[in-house]
Amino acid sequence: MKKPSKTRKKATRPAKRKTPKRRLFPYEKVADLWAQEKTIPEIAKAIGRVGNGDDPYHALRVALTKMHKGYTNAKGNLVKLSHRVSQKTVKLATKAGKRASA
């Protein structure tokens, strides 16, 4: 004879939470602070984008990298954020990064 199988209790699901709205990134403010030669930590604190963990400024650095490629300003024009170093330094850093990842 087989033992009757035990019925398992269903786990109670936690209450559903509303997903937070995505905050728009302040491209104009970042570009203005970058032109004033503010540091990355200063810009991150000014726009309220300081994260937690080992790299609190990661999100801002990624955004700056994308802004160097080009972003749309308030007038709707595609604008590139200028680098603070020479073009030669940018090329060498890009080359070194590609070499390290290969």
Residue 69 has pLDDT above 80, yes or no: yes
> In terms of Cα–Cα distance, which of 60, 7, 2 is closest to 31?
60
Residue 76 has pLDDT above 70, yes or no: yes
pLDDT given for residue 99 in this prediction:
95
Residue type, 49: R
User: Which residues make Cβ contacts (< 8 Å) with residue 35, sequence separation at least 6?
Assistant: none
Residue 93, pLDDT score: 94
- Arithmetic mean of pLDDT, 3-31: 83
What's the token pair of residue 58? 């990661």
The rounded mean pLDDT for the chain is 91
Q: Average pLDDT for residues 79-93, to the nearest whole number?
A: 95
More confident residue, 20 or 98: 98
Per-residue pLDDT, 70: 96
**Whole-number pLDDT of residue 1:** 67
Model pTM score: 0.72
pLDDT value at residue 18:
85
